[in-house]
Protein backbone atom coordinates (compact mmCIF):
# COMPACT_ATOMS: atom_id res chain seq x y z
CA UNK A 1 0.00 0.00 0.00
CA UNK A 2 1.39 3.41 -1.00
CA UNK A 3 0.40 6.70 0.54
CA UNK A 4 1.16 10.08 -0.91
CA UNK A 5 1.00 13.59 0.46
CA UNK A 6 0.33 16.67 -1.55
CA UNK A 7 0.48 20.07 0.12
CA UNK A 8 -1.32 19.96 3.48
CA UNK A 9 -3.48 16.96 2.59
CA UNK A 10 -2.69 13.41 3.62
CA UNK A 11 -4.34 11.51 0.81
CA UNK A 12 -6.71 8.84 2.05
CA UNK A 13 -6.19 6.65 -0.97
CA UNK A 14 -4.08 3.78 -2.16
CA UNK A 15 -2.43 2.78 -5.40
CA UNK A 16 -2.36 -0.98 -5.79
CA UNK A 17 -1.60 -3.46 -8.51
CA UNK A 18 -3.91 -6.05 -10.05
CA UNK A 19 -6.26 -7.60 -7.48
CA UNK A 20 -4.20 -6.41 -4.54
CA UNK A 21 -6.65 -3.76 -3.37
CA UNK A 22 -6.52 -1.85 -0.08
CA UNK A 23 -8.71 0.56 1.84
CA UNK A 24 -7.42 3.45 3.94
CA UNK A 25 -9.33 5.27 6.64
CA UNK A 26 -8.17 8.79 7.39
CA UNK A 27 -9.76 12.09 8.27
CA UNK A 28 -9.63 14.54 5.40
CA UNK A 29 -8.58 18.19 6.00
CA UNK A 30 -10.69 21.06 4.64
CA UNK A 31 -11.20 20.89 0.90
CA UNK A 32 -9.27 23.14 -1.47
CA UNK A 33 -11.06 25.62 -3.70
CA UNK A 34 -10.93 23.24 -6.66
CA UNK A 35 -12.39 20.35 -4.70
CA UNK A 36 -15.41 22.41 -3.74
CA UNK A 37 -16.62 22.17 -7.33
CA UNK A 38 -17.79 18.65 -6.46
CA UNK A 39 -21.21 18.84 -4.76
CA UNK A 40 -21.76 17.39 -1.31
CA UNK A 41 -22.68 13.72 -1.42
CA UNK A 42 -21.16 13.15 -4.86
CA UNK A 43 -18.22 11.34 -6.44
CA UNK A 44 -16.64 13.53 -9.13
CA UNK A 45 -13.86 13.06 -11.65
CA UNK A 46 -12.04 15.90 -13.41
CA UNK A 47 -10.39 16.36 -16.77
CA UNK A 48 -7.26 18.00 -15.40
CA UNK A 49 -5.17 17.90 -12.26
CA UNK A 50 -6.13 20.03 -9.25
CA UNK A 51 -9.85 19.54 -10.05
CA UNK A 52 -9.82 21.70 -13.16
CA UNK A 53 -11.40 21.34 -16.58
CA UNK A 54 -14.62 19.44 -17.22
CA UNK A 55 -16.23 17.57 -14.31
CA UNK A 56 -18.27 14.35 -14.39
CA UNK A 57 -20.40 13.05 -11.50
CA UNK A 58 -20.22 9.27 -10.99
CA UNK A 59 -23.37 7.86 -9.40
CA UNK A 60 -23.02 4.17 -10.30
CA UNK A 61 -20.37 1.67 -11.35
CA UNK A 62 -19.11 2.08 -14.91
CA UNK A 63 -17.21 -0.76 -16.56
CA UNK A 64 -16.15 1.57 -19.38
CA UNK A 65 -15.95 5.34 -19.42
CA UNK A 66 -16.61 6.23 -23.05
CA UNK A 67 -15.35 9.72 -23.83
CA UNK A 68 -13.84 9.92 -20.35
CA UNK A 69 -11.62 6.88 -20.90
CA UNK A 70 -7.98 7.75 -20.14
CA UNK A 71 -8.82 11.42 -19.52
CA UNK A 72 -9.18 11.62 -15.70
CA UNK A 73 -6.47 13.51 -13.80
CA UNK A 74 -8.12 14.14 -10.41
CA UNK A 75 -11.04 12.85 -8.36
CA UNK A 76 -13.09 13.94 -5.33
CA UNK A 77 -15.18 11.58 -3.22
CA UNK A 78 -17.72 13.55 -1.18
CA UNK A 79 -20.17 10.63 -1.27
CA UNK A 80 -21.04 7.91 1.24
CA UNK A 81 -19.82 5.28 -1.22
CA UNK A 82 -16.57 3.38 -1.49
CA UNK A 83 -14.92 3.80 -4.89
CA UNK A 84 -12.26 1.92 -6.85
CA UNK A 85 -10.81 3.58 -9.96
CA UNK A 86 -9.14 1.07 -12.30
CA UNK A 87 -6.73 1.63 -15.17
CA UNK A 88 -8.31 -1.26 -17.11
CA UNK A 89 -11.88 -1.57 -18.35
CA UNK A 90 -14.31 -3.95 -16.62
CA UNK A 91 -12.59 -3.38 -13.25
CA UNK A 92 -9.79 -5.80 -14.11
CA UNK A 93 -6.06 -5.79 -13.40
CA UNK A 94 -3.61 -2.94 -13.49
CA UNK A 95 -3.18 -0.16 -10.97
CA UNK A 96 -6.16 0.94 -8.91
CA UNK A 97 -7.10 3.80 -6.61
CA UNK A 98 -9.25 2.87 -3.60
CA UNK A 99 -11.17 5.68 -1.90
CA UNK A 100 -13.18 5.65 1.32
CA UNK A 101 -16.48 7.51 1.72
CA UNK A 102 -16.09 11.27 2.17
CA UNK A 103 -12.44 10.82 1.24
CA UNK A 104 -11.90 14.26 -0.26
CA UNK A 105 -9.75 14.86 -3.31
CA UNK A 106 -6.82 13.19 -5.03
CA UNK A 107 -4.88 14.80 -7.87
CA UNK A 108 -2.87 12.45 -10.06
CA UNK A 109 0.48 14.19 -9.91
CA UNK A 110 3.78 13.42 -8.22
CA UNK A 111 5.77 10.21 -8.27
CA UNK A 112 3.00 8.06 -6.79
CA UNK A 113 -0.33 9.26 -8.11
CA UNK A 114 1.21 10.26 -11.42
CA UNK A 115 1.04 6.68 -12.65
CA UNK A 116 -2.76 6.98 -12.73
CA UNK A 117 -2.87 10.24 -14.67
CA UNK A 118 -4.99 9.88 -17.84
CA UNK A 119 -5.16 6.09 -17.36
CA UNK A 120 -8.48 5.41 -15.57
CA UNK A 121 -10.80 3.21 -17.66
CA UNK A 122 -13.43 1.93 -15.20
CA UNK A 123 -14.90 2.94 -11.83
CA UNK A 124 -16.70 0.72 -9.36
CA UNK A 125 -18.75 2.14 -6.46
CA UNK A 126 -20.46 0.27 -3.63
CA UNK A 127 -21.72 0.69 -0.09
CA UNK A 128 -18.93 -1.47 1.33
CA UNK A 129 -15.18 -1.59 0.67
CA UNK A 130 -15.34 -5.34 0.11
CA UNK A 131 -17.96 -5.04 -2.60
CA UNK A 132 -16.17 -2.13 -4.25
CA UNK A 133 -12.87 -4.00 -4.31
CA UNK A 134 -14.06 -7.49 -5.16
CA UNK A 135 -17.22 -6.85 -7.14
CA UNK A 136 -19.22 -9.17 -4.90
CA UNK A 137 -21.26 -8.13 -1.90
CA UNK A 138 -21.41 -11.49 -0.20
CA UNK A 139 -19.25 -13.15 2.34
CA UNK A 140 -18.14 -16.69 1.50
CA UNK A 141 -17.39 -19.51 3.89
CA UNK A 142 -16.23 -23.08 3.62
CA UNK A 143 -18.64 -25.25 5.63
CA UNK A 144 -18.22 -28.80 6.82
CA UNK A 145 -19.92 -32.07 5.97
CA UNK A 146 -23.61 -32.95 5.94
CA UNK A 147 -25.23 -33.20 9.36
CA UNK A 148 -26.24 -36.74 10.40
CA UNK A 149 -29.97 -37.41 10.36
CA UNK A 150 -29.73 -38.82 13.87
CA UNK A 151 -28.85 -35.52 15.53
CA UNK A 152 -30.90 -35.08 18.74
CA UNK A 153 -33.92 -32.81 18.36
CA UNK A 154 -32.51 -30.38 20.92
CA UNK A 155 -29.53 -29.71 18.66
CA UNK A 156 -31.32 -29.57 15.30
CA UNK A 157 -31.04 -25.95 14.38
CA UNK A 158 -28.96 -23.65 12.18
CA UNK A 159 -30.37 -24.97 8.89
CA UNK A 160 -32.13 -22.17 7.01
CA UNK A 161 -32.75 -23.96 3.71
CA UNK A 162 -33.63 -27.48 4.88
CA UNK A 163 -30.63 -29.24 3.34
CA UNK A 164 -29.52 -30.73 6.68
CA UNK A 165 -26.47 -28.46 6.86
CA UNK A 166 -25.96 -25.52 9.21
CA UNK A 167 -25.99 -22.09 7.61
CA UNK A 168 -24.80 -18.65 8.66
CA UNK A 169 -26.49 -15.29 8.76
CA UNK A 170 -24.23 -12.29 8.29
CA UNK A 171 -25.12 -8.64 8.78
CA UNK A 172 -22.81 -6.00 7.36
CA UNK A 173 -22.44 -2.55 8.84
CA UNK A 174 -24.57 -1.10 6.04
CA UNK A 175 -27.52 -3.14 7.36
CA UNK A 176 -27.74 -5.76 4.62
CA UNK A 177 -28.46 -9.27 5.85
CA UNK A 178 -26.95 -12.22 4.00
CA UNK A 179 -27.74 -15.90 4.19
CA UNK A 180 -24.69 -18.16 3.70
CA UNK A 181 -25.74 -21.71 3.02
CA UNK A 182 -23.66 -24.57 4.31
CA UNK A 183 -23.06 -26.51 1.12
CA UNK A 184 -20.58 -26.29 -1.72
CA UNK A 185 -20.06 -28.68 -4.60
CA UNK A 186 -16.33 -28.07 -4.39
CA UNK A 187 -13.90 -27.01 -1.68
CA UNK A 188 -12.37 -24.69 -4.29
CA UNK A 189 -15.67 -22.87 -4.81
CA UNK A 190 -17.33 -21.76 -1.58
CA UNK A 191 -21.08 -21.14 -1.72
CA UNK A 192 -22.09 -17.58 -2.50
CA UNK A 193 -24.10 -15.64 0.00
CA UNK A 194 -27.66 -14.66 -0.81
CA UNK A 195 -28.97 -11.20 0.01
CA UNK A 196 -32.04 -11.35 2.25
CA UNK A 197 -32.57 -7.61 2.42
CA UNK A 198 -31.46 -4.30 3.85
CA UNK A 199 -32.36 -2.26 6.90
CA UNK A 200 -31.30 -4.85 9.46
CA UNK A 201 -29.01 -2.37 11.22
CA UNK A 202 -32.22 -1.07 12.79
CA UNK A 203 -32.19 -4.25 14.89
CA UNK A 204 -30.27 -4.44 18.16
CA UNK A 205 -30.69 -8.21 18.58
CA UNK A 206 -31.11 -10.97 15.97
CA UNK A 207 -31.46 -14.55 17.22
CA UNK A 208 -32.49 -17.95 15.89
CA UNK A 209 -32.70 -21.54 17.04
CA UNK A 210 -34.81 -23.73 14.80
CA UNK A 211 -38.56 -23.89 14.20
CA UNK A 212 -40.81 -21.80 16.46
CA UNK A 213 -44.13 -21.94 14.59
CA UNK A 214 -44.47 -25.62 13.76
CA UNK A 215 -43.80 -25.54 10.00
CA UNK A 216 -40.39 -27.27 10.28
CA UNK A 217 -38.49 -24.21 8.99
CA UNK A 218 -35.89 -22.28 10.97
CA UNK A 219 -37.14 -18.88 12.15
CA UNK A 220 -35.58 -15.62 13.34
CA UNK A 221 -36.46 -13.11 16.06
CA UNK A 222 -35.22 -9.52 15.95
CA UNK A 223 -35.59 -6.60 18.34
CA UNK A 224 -35.65 -3.08 16.92
CA UNK A 225 -34.30 0.08 18.55
CA UNK A 226 -37.67 1.00 20.01
CA UNK A 227 -37.85 -2.30 21.90
CA UNK A 228 -40.33 -4.13 19.66
CA UNK A 229 -39.65 -7.85 19.19
CA UNK A 230 -40.45 -9.20 15.73
CA UNK A 231 -40.91 -12.78 14.56
CA UNK A 232 -39.59 -13.61 11.06
CA UNK A 233 -40.93 -17.06 10.08
CA UNK A 234 -38.57 -18.90 7.76
CA UNK A 235 -39.73 -20.23 4.42
CA UNK A 236 -37.23 -23.09 4.31
CA UNK A 237 -35.30 -21.55 1.41
CA UNK A 238 -33.14 -19.06 3.29
CA UNK A 239 -35.68 -16.23 3.27
CA UNK A 240 -38.50 -15.13 5.55
CA UNK A 241 -42.24 -14.75 5.33
CA UNK A 242 -43.87 -11.46 6.43
CA UNK A 243 -42.83 -10.58 9.95
CA UNK A 244 -45.17 -10.65 12.94
CA UNK A 245 -45.01 -8.31 15.92
CA UNK A 246 -44.52 -10.19 19.19
CA UNK A 247 -44.69 -7.23 21.54
CA UNK A 248 -43.10 -4.07 22.91
CA UNK A 249 -40.91 -3.36 25.92
CA UNK A 250 -38.09 -5.74 25.02
CA UNK A 251 -35.52 -2.94 25.33
CA UNK A 252 -35.52 -3.67 29.07
CA UNK A 253 -33.62 -6.82 28.15
CA UNK A 254 -29.85 -6.65 27.96
CA UNK A 255 -29.70 -9.81 25.87
CA UNK A 256 -32.18 -12.16 24.23
CA UNK A 257 -31.48 -15.71 23.08
CA UNK A 258 -33.50 -18.28 21.17
CA UNK A 259 -32.45 -21.42 23.04
CA UNK A 260 -34.66 -24.22 21.75
CA UNK A 261 -36.82 -26.29 24.09
CA UNK A 262 -35.65 -25.81 27.68
CA UNK A 263 -39.03 -26.49 29.32
CA UNK A 264 -39.40 -30.07 28.06
CA UNK A 265 -42.73 -29.61 26.28
CA UNK A 266 -41.38 -30.02 22.75
CA UNK A 267 -41.73 -26.32 21.93
CA UNK A 268 -38.86 -23.92 21.51
CA UNK A 269 -38.38 -21.10 23.99
CA UNK A 270 -36.58 -17.80 24.53
CA UNK A 271 -34.45 -16.67 27.44
CA UNK A 272 -33.70 -13.02 28.19
CA UNK A 273 -31.46 -11.27 30.69
CA UNK A 274 -32.77 -7.93 31.94
CA UNK A 275 -30.75 -4.88 32.98
CA UNK A 276 -30.96 -5.93 36.63
CA UNK A 277 -29.26 -9.25 35.84
CA UNK A 278 -32.35 -11.45 36.13
CA UNK A 279 -32.65 -14.28 33.61
CA UNK A 280 -36.16 -15.08 32.36
CA UNK A 281 -37.62 -17.97 30.36
CA UNK A 282 -40.31 -17.23 27.77
CA UNK A 283 -41.97 -20.59 26.99
CA UNK A 284 -42.92 -20.99 23.34
CA UNK A 285 -46.42 -22.07 22.35
CA UNK A 286 -45.36 -23.68 19.08
CA UNK A 287 -47.00 -20.98 16.97
CA UNK A 288 -44.36 -18.24 17.16
CA UNK A 289 -45.68 -16.74 20.39
CA UNK A 290 -44.85 -17.14 24.07
CA UNK A 291 -46.61 -17.79 27.35
CA UNK A 292 -46.10 -16.00 30.66
CA UNK A 293 -42.45 -15.62 31.46
CA UNK A 294 -40.81 -17.43 34.37
CA UNK A 295 -37.87 -16.28 36.45
CA UNK A 296 -34.77 -18.45 36.24
CA UNK A 297 -32.66 -16.49 38.71
CA UNK A 298 -30.60 -13.39 39.40
CA UNK A 299 -26.91 -12.57 39.21
CA UNK A 300 -26.64 -12.93 35.45
CA UNK A 301 -25.36 -9.36 35.06
CA UNK A 302 -21.90 -10.83 35.67
CA UNK A 303 -22.22 -12.35 32.20
CA UNK A 304 -21.61 -10.29 29.08
CA UNK A 305 -22.55 -12.91 26.50
CA UNK A 306 -25.12 -15.69 26.27
CA UNK A 307 -24.82 -18.48 23.70
CA UNK A 308 -27.51 -21.03 22.79
CA UNK A 309 -25.70 -24.14 21.48
CA UNK A 310 -28.54 -26.65 21.78
CA UNK A 311 -27.70 -29.92 23.49
CA UNK A 312 -24.00 -30.03 24.40
CA UNK A 313 -24.21 -32.70 27.09
CA UNK A 314 -25.89 -35.45 25.08
CA UNK A 315 -28.99 -35.78 27.27
CA UNK A 316 -31.43 -34.40 24.71
CA UNK A 317 -31.98 -31.15 26.64
CA UNK A 318 -31.03 -27.69 25.44
CA UNK A 319 -28.20 -26.03 27.35
CA UNK A 320 -26.92 -22.49 27.77
CA UNK A 321 -23.38 -21.11 27.57
CA UNK A 322 -22.44 -17.81 29.21
CA UNK A 323 -19.23 -15.78 29.27
CA UNK A 324 -18.24 -13.65 32.21
CA UNK A 325 -15.92 -10.70 31.81
CA UNK A 326 -12.96 -12.14 33.67
CA UNK A 327 -13.03 -15.92 34.03
CA UNK A 328 -14.10 -17.27 30.67
CA UNK A 329 -16.92 -19.41 29.32
CA UNK A 330 -19.36 -21.51 31.36
CA UNK A 331 -21.75 -24.29 30.39
CA UNK A 332 -25.14 -24.36 32.13
CA UNK A 333 -26.78 -27.76 31.43
CA UNK A 334 -30.53 -27.57 30.91
CA UNK A 335 -32.70 -29.63 33.25
CA UNK A 336 -35.66 -29.82 30.85
CA UNK A 337 -37.87 -27.84 33.24
CA UNK A 338 -36.92 -24.29 32.27
CA UNK A 339 -33.87 -24.00 34.50
CA UNK A 340 -30.25 -25.13 34.57
CA UNK A 341 -28.00 -27.37 36.63
CA UNK A 342 -24.61 -26.64 38.15
CA UNK A 343 -22.34 -24.89 35.72
CA UNK A 344 -18.96 -26.13 34.48
CA UNK A 345 -16.16 -24.07 33.04
CA UNK A 346 -15.14 -24.57 29.42
CA UNK A 347 -11.45 -24.52 28.50
CA UNK A 348 -9.38 -22.11 26.40
CA UNK A 349 -9.07 -18.34 26.37
CA UNK A 350 -12.21 -16.39 25.57
CA UNK A 351 -11.55 -12.64 25.15
CA UNK A 352 -14.16 -10.63 27.00
CA UNK A 353 -15.14 -8.65 23.91
CA UNK A 354 -14.96 -11.42 21.29
CA UNK A 355 -18.23 -12.68 19.75
CA UNK A 356 -19.12 -16.30 20.48
CA UNK A 357 -22.05 -18.07 18.82
CA UNK A 358 -23.39 -21.43 17.72
CA UNK A 359 -25.38 -22.74 14.78
CA UNK A 360 -25.44 -26.29 16.10
CA UNK A 361 -23.36 -29.04 14.55
CA UNK A 362 -20.94 -27.67 11.96
CA UNK A 363 -18.44 -30.54 12.05
CA UNK A 364 -20.88 -33.25 10.98
CA UNK A 365 -20.45 -35.55 13.98
CA UNK A 366 -23.91 -35.03 15.46
CA UNK A 367 -22.72 -32.83 18.34
CA UNK A 368 -23.28 -29.13 18.88
CA UNK A 369 -20.26 -26.88 18.44
CA UNK A 370 -19.20 -23.33 19.29
CA UNK A 371 -17.78 -20.76 16.88
CA UNK A 372 -15.82 -17.52 17.23
CA UNK A 373 -14.72 -15.03 14.55
CA UNK A 374 -10.98 -14.42 14.80
CA UNK A 375 -10.39 -11.77 12.16
CA UNK A 376 -11.85 -10.53 8.89
CA UNK A 377 -11.43 -13.88 7.18
CA UNK A 378 -11.50 -16.71 9.67
CA UNK A 379 -13.78 -18.49 12.11
CA UNK A 380 -12.57 -20.72 14.90
CA UNK A 381 -14.62 -23.85 15.52
CA UNK A 382 -14.67 -25.49 18.95
CA UNK A 383 -16.06 -28.96 18.30
CA UNK A 384 -18.40 -30.27 20.98
CA UNK A 385 -17.70 -33.74 22.32
CA UNK A 386 -21.31 -34.49 23.27
CA UNK A 387 -20.44 -34.68 26.97
CA UNK A 388 -20.39 -30.97 27.80
CA UNK A 389 -16.85 -30.34 26.62
CA UNK A 390 -15.22 -28.84 23.54
CA UNK A 391 -12.11 -29.55 21.51
CA UNK A 392 -9.26 -27.19 20.76
CA UNK A 393 -10.01 -24.32 18.36
CA UNK A 394 -9.71 -25.23 14.71
CA UNK A 395 -9.28 -22.47 12.14
CA UNK A 396 -10.95 -24.45 9.38
CA UNK A 397 -13.82 -22.13 8.54
CA UNK A 398 -12.66 -19.64 5.92
CA UNK A 399 -14.68 -16.59 5.00
CA UNK A 400 -13.95 -13.79 2.56
CA UNK A 401 -14.71 -10.23 3.55
CA UNK A 402 -12.90 -6.97 4.13
CA UNK A 403 -15.80 -5.54 6.09
CA UNK A 404 -16.69 -5.60 9.73
CA UNK A 405 -19.61 -8.00 9.91
CA UNK A 406 -21.79 -9.64 12.52
CA UNK A 407 -22.13 -13.39 12.11
CA UNK A 408 -24.75 -15.58 13.79
DSSP collapsed to 3 states, 299-313 = CHHHEEEEEEEECCC
Which residues, in sequence order, are bridge partners of residue 97? 15, 85
Residue numbers of the domain that contains 314: 140-407
Q: Return d(Cα 157, Cα 210) in angstroms, integer.
A: 4
Same domain, yes or no: 341 and 389: yes
Same domain, yes or no: 130 and 190: no
Domain harbouring 277, CATH code: 2.120.10
Q: Which of 80, 104, 134 is the last residue of a domain?
A: 134
Position 134 scores a pLDDT of 56
Same domain, yes or no: 209 and 333: yes
CA distance to 171, 228, 238, 254, per residue, from 205 (Å): 11, 11, 19, 10
Q: The pTM is what?
A: 0.68
Same domain, yes or no: 355 and 306: yes
Contact indicator for 384, 144 with CB cutoff of 8 Å? no
Q: Which of 134, 164, 196 is the last residue of a domain?
A: 134
Contact indicator for 171, 184 with CB cutoff of 8 Å? no
Same domain, yes or no: 128 and 144: no
Same domain, yes or no: 374 and 238: yes
Number of Cβ within a 10 Å radius of residue 174: 16
Q: Return d(Cα 208, Cα 210) in angstroms, integer.
A: 6
Position 270 scores a pLDDT of 97
Which residues, in sequence order, are bridge partners of residue 13? 99
Which residues lie below 8 Å from residue 165, measured CB to CB, with a gap of 6+?
Answer: 143, 146, 147, 159, 181, 182, 183
Low-confidence ranges of the chain (pLDDT < 70): 1-33, 93-94, 111-112, 128-156, 173, 182-193, 375-378, 395-407
Spatial strand order of the sheet with 203-208 comes to: 203-208, 220-224, 229-232, 244-247
Same domain, yes or no: 187 and 102: no
Same domain, yes or no: 129 and 225: no
Same domain, yes or no: 155 and 106: no
Which is it for the CA torsion 157, 362, 296, 205, positive or negative?
A: negative
Same domain, yes or no: 386 and 258: yes
Q: Return d(Cα 324, Cα 139) in angstroms, integer.
A: 30
Same domain, yes or no: 102 and 155: no
Domain harbouring 12, CATH code: 2.60.20.10
Which is it for the CA torsion 357, 170, 273, 316, positive or negative?
A: negative
- When divided into structural domains, the chain yields a total of 2
Position 183 scores a pLDDT of 53
Q: Which of 134, 164, 179 is the last residue of a domain?
A: 134
Same domain, yes or no: 312 and 194: yes
Contact indicator for 39, 49 with CB cutoff of 8 Å? no
Position 3 scores a pLDDT of 27
Amino acid sequence: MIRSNRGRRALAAAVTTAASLATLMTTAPPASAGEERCPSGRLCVFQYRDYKGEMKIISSSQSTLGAWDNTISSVVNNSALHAVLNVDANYRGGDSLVMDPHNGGVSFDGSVMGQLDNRISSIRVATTAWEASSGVAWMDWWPQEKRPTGLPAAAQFGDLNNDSRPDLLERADDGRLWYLHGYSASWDTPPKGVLIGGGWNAMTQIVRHGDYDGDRNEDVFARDRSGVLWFYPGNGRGYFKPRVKIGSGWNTMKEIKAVGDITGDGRRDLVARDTAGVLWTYPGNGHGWFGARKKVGGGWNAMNRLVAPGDMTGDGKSDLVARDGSRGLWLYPGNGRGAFGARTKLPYAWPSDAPVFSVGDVTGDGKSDLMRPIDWNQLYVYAGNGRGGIGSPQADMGWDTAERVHVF
